[in-house]
Structure 1
Amino acid sequence: MADAIIFGSLLYSHILPPIMAFIGIILLCSGVMDNKRNYTLAGIAIFFGAGLLPFLILPLVIGS
Structure 2
Amino acid sequence: MINKDMTIGEVLKVDRNLAATLMEFGMGCVGCPSAQAETLAEAASVHGINGETLVNALNEAEGK
* TM-score, normalisation: structure 2: 0.31
Bigger relative contact order (CA 8 A; separation at least 6): 2
Q: Which has the higher helix share?
A: 1
* TM-score, normalisation: structure 1: 0.31
Larger Rg: 1
